[in-house]
């Protein structure tokens, strides 16, 4: 088989950019990305794409209508395709067995059933969504139960490792591509077909092939290790604050050890995003199901440390503002879970906002890429007992940082957007109530310069000298 047509089910943060990149790098392949969400598909077909990802617009503009198509009409796309990616969401279950921990595979299963019912020829089905180890088994079972003469399926695991905000670079120059498949001649042939697609732009020595279960487990393990690094550095940041050590200096000192490496040692308000917590919870759940309670407890601690870091940061805001923030105006800079994305899933900013709102604060939020309606949706969802109108009375979303900070008692930086490093902080200080506080949850500002202006600055993993004003008050 030569792959001429690819179909991708799921036009989200993974399916959209991944398949746009395949279309861009493989002009000989026709790529159709499907989703059941009309609004999302309309946006993919418009000039304002549903996700903000630097570099993505240009790629979509070049390929859309040529060999890249976005549609809700799934059946013909599945029928025509030689290879089908399943890139649907696999959120944490919210009810039933494994509630709050296990991955919900209902969307993956419904894709398998759809493919089984529609396919009229041989297909390679590729599990791109992040799934628990051995998930491909259910896909294989559903598909094989529906195998008809001339309709044969091979199921591969090809997890995605891109990060939001750097997706285009990650897809262009991945550290590796991982493909798992059955250890049979048919499985090996299917792996070869997918290798051929990626080898349009990626060296073969960067394409790792394994058995299906190793591939599935490697994805969960990669996220668990990355999240563990953040919880580890955040744990040490607390020791720094208590002792006068500086976490940036510690991170540099340990990161130069080539066995440790410099990346992912940025202490922060805590990690967010749609995957780390979900995938860790899933690993914990799998370990428990395998009767490996020590393993489960080990990985659970990475999540617990992250929860502690978020609540510790929010608690520090209240404590420093003289233990009461009722009716105080607090400016939040950033709401996305990291810079260069408009994605707010599991953003630490949501957690911090909830904490501050529960303490009676009035929040004035600014984020360069998150829409106002998304901010209200997240806050109302996070505070289900609050009346939505009540939340709206306590929160105002601004279109620039200066208006958010005007008349505020404090600024809380939750996302490391570059523009927050180049603001005119003298102008901001002049417009704020005094004493003016700045809580830098991302360690991005020049703290000494802010102290000189008059701010009282608090950050992660470092004691900042107190502003002269507060020294007088002390
Ligand atoms: P997403 O929520 O952005 O997109 C998933 C899309 O699938 C949605 O648009 C939804 O409407 C669609 N969908 C769900 N069920 C469908 C069905 N039956 N038919 C058609 N469309 C359907 O999710 P995402 O962030 O793209 O993540 C997808 C998977 O990739 C998850 O398993 C995630 O863990 C994994 N992953 C995500 C990232 C990331 O950075 N977001 C990176 C690597 C891996
Ligand atoms: C992460 C992984 O990095 C990807 O490899 C993986 O494919 C993806 O999850 C996934 O499976 O979804 P992503 O969540 O998009 O990617 O973003 P990251 O850059 O990993 O950041 C996650 C969170 O950790 C963010 O809130 C970020 O601010 C925080 N972080 C990251 C830190 O606090 N410190 C760091 O040093 C790095």
- The Cα 25–Cα 19 span in angstroms is 10
pLDDT tens-digit readout, 174-206: 999 999 999 999 999 999 999 999 999 999 999
Whether 148 has a pLDDT exceeding 90, the answer reads no
Q: Looking at 105-109, 213-217, 329-333, 468-472, which range is the least confident one?
A: 468-472
| C-alpha closest to that of 173 among 143, 151, 198, 197 | 198
CB 88 within 8 A of CB 116: no
Pocket lining: 223 vs ligand 2, CB cutoff 6 Å: yes
Q: Would you name the residues annotated as active-site residues?
A: 275
Q: How confident is the model at residue 147 (pLDDT cuts 50, 70, 90)?
A: confident
Whether 469 has a pLDDT exceeding 70, the answer reads no
CA distances from residue 300 to 161, 177, 297 in whole angstroms, order as listed: 22, 28, 5
pTM metric for this prediction: 0.97
Kindly give the distance from the C-alpha atom of residue 228 to the centroid of ligand 1, in angstroms, as a whole number: 24
Minimal-distance CA residue to ligand 2 atom 14: 273
Pocket lining: 92 vs ligand 1, CB cutoff 6 Å: no
Q: Looking at 5-14, 146-155, 391-400, which range is the least confident one?
A: 146-155
Whether 463 has a pLDDT exceeding 60, the answer reads yes
Q: How confident is the model at residue 387 (pLDDT cuts 50, 70, 90)?
A: confident
Minimal-distance CA residue to ligand 2 atom 16: 163
- The Cα 4–Cα 69 span in angstroms is 14
Q: How confident is the model at residue 470 (pLDDT cuts 50, 70, 90)?
A: low
Residue 473, pLDDT score: 53
Q: Looking at 81-90, 149-158, 280-289, 418-427, which range is the least confident one?
A: 149-158
Write down the mean pLDDT value for the chain: 96
Minimal-distance CA residue to ligand 2 atom 20: 163
Pocket lining: 431 vs ligand 1, CB cutoff 6 Å: no
| C-alpha closest to that of 20 among 168, 173, 123, 177 | 168
- The Cα 110–Cα 130 span in angstroms is 15
pLDDT tens-digit readout, 127-144: 999 999 999 999 999 998
Pocket lining: 404 vs ligand 1, CB cutoff 6 Å: no
- The Cα 275–Cα 325 span in angstroms is 32
Minimal-distance CA residue to ligand 1 atom 1: 12
Residue 390, pLDDT score: 84
Give the per-residue SS3 of the chain. CCCCEEEEECCCCCHHHHHHHHHHHCCCCEEEEECCCHHHHHHHCCCCCCCCCCCHHHHHHHHECCCEEEECCHHHHHHHCCEEEECCCCCECCCCCCCCCCECCHHHHHHHHHHHHHCCCCEEEEECCCCCCCHHHHHHHHHHCCCCCCCCEEEEECCCCCCCCCHHHHHHCCCCEEEEECCCHHHHHHHHHHHHHHCCCCCHHHEEEEEHHHHHHHHHHHHHHHHHHHHHHHHHHHHHHHHCCCHHHHHHHHHCCCCCCCCCCCCCCCCCCCCHHHHHHHHHHHHHHCCCHHHHHHHHHHHHHHHHHHHHHHHHHHHHCCCCCCCCEEEEECCCCCCCCCCCCCCHHHHHHHHHHHCCCEEEEECCCCCHHHHHHHHHHHCCCCCHHHHHHHEEECCCHHHHHCCCCEEEECCCCHHHHCCCHHHHHHHCCCCCEEEECCCCCCHHHHHHHCCEEEECCCCCCCCHHHHHHC
| C-alpha closest to that of 378 among 366, 368, 388 | 388
Look-up of token digits 């306590």: 394
Residue 94, pLDDT score: 95
Half-sphere exposure of 290 (CA within 13 A, CB side): 14
Kindly give the distance from the C-alpha atom of residue 128 to the centroid of ligand 1, in angstroms, as a whole number: 9
Q: CB neighbours of 392 closer than 8 A, spacing ≥ 6? A: 376
Q: How confident is the model at residue 117 (pLDDT cuts 50, 70, 90)?
A: very high
Pocket lining: 9 vs ligand 1, CB cutoff 6 Å: yes
Residue 474, pLDDT score: 45
Whether 52 has a pLDDT exceeding 50, the answer reads yes
Whether 381 has a pLDDT exceeding 90, the answer reads yes
pLDDT tens-digit readout, 215-265: 999 999 999 999 999 999 999 999 999 999 999 999 999 999 999 999 999
Residue 78, pLDDT score: 98
* Ligand 1 atom closest to residue 16's alpha carbon, by position in its atom list: 26
Minimal-distance CA residue to ligand 1 atom 38: 14
Q: Looking at 25-39, 177-191, 414-428, 454-468, which range is the least confident one?
A: 454-468
Pocket lining: 139 vs ligand 2, CB cutoff 6 Å: no
Residue 164, pLDDT score: 98
């Amino acid at each position: 088989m030569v792959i001429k047509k690819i179909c991708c089910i799921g036009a989200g943060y993974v399916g959209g950019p991944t398949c746009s990149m395949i279309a861009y790098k493989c002009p000989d392949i026709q790529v159709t990305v499907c989703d059941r969400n009309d609004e999302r598909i309309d946006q993919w077909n418009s000039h304002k794409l549903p996700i903000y990802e630097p570099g993505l617009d240009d790629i979509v503009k070049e390929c859309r209508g040529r060999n890249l198509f976005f549609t809700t009409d799934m059946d013909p796309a599945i029928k025509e395709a030689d290879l089908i990616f399943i890139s649907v969401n696999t959120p944490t279950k919210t009810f039933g067995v494994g509630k709050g921990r296990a991955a919900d595979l209902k969307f993956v299963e419904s894709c398998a059933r759809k493919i089984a019912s529609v396919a009229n020829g041989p297909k390679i089905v590729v599990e791109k969504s992040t799934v628990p180890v051995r998930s491909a088994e259910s896909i294989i079972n559903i598909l094989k139960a529906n195998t008809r003469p001339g309709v044969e399926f091979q199921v591969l695991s090809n997890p995605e490792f891109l990060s939001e905000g750097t997706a285009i670079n990650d897809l262009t120059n991945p550290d590796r591509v991982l493909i798992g498949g059955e250890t049979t001649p048919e499985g090996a042939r299917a792996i070869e077909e997918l290798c051929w697609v990626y080898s349009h732009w990626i060296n073969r020595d960067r394409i790792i092939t394994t058995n299906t279960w190793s591939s599935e487990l490697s994805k969960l393990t990669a996220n668990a290790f990355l999240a563990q690094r953040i919880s580890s550095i955040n744990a040490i940041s607390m020791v720094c604050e208590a002792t006068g050590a500086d976490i940036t200096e510690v991170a540099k000192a340990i990161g130069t050890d080539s066995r440790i490496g410099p990346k992912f040692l940025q202490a922060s308000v805590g990690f967010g995003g749609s995957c780390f917590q979900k995938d860790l919870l899933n690993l914990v759940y799998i370990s428990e199901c395998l009767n490996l309670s020590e393993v489960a407890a080990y990985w659970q601690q990475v999540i617990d440390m992250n929860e502690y870091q978020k609540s510790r940061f929010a608690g520090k805001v209240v404590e420093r503002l003289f233990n009461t923030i009722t009716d105080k105006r607090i400016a939040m800079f950033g709401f996305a879970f990291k810079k260069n994305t408009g994605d707010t899933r599991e953003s630490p900013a949501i957690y911090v906002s909830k904490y501050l709102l529960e303490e009676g604060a009035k929040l004035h939020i600014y984020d360069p890429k998150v829409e106002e309606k998304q901010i209200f949706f997240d806050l109302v969802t996070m505070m289900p007992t609050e009346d939505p109108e009540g939340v709206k009375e306590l929160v105002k979303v601004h279109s620039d940082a200066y208006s958010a900070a005007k008349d505020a008692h404090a600024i809380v930086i939750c996302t490391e957007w570059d523009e927050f490093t180049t603001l005119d902080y003298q102008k901001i200080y002049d417009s704020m109530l005094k004493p003016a506080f700045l809580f830098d949850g991302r360690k991005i500002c020049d703290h000494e310069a802010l102290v000189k202006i008059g701010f009282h600055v608090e950050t992660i993993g470092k004691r900042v000298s107190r502003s002269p004003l507060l020294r007088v008050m002390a």
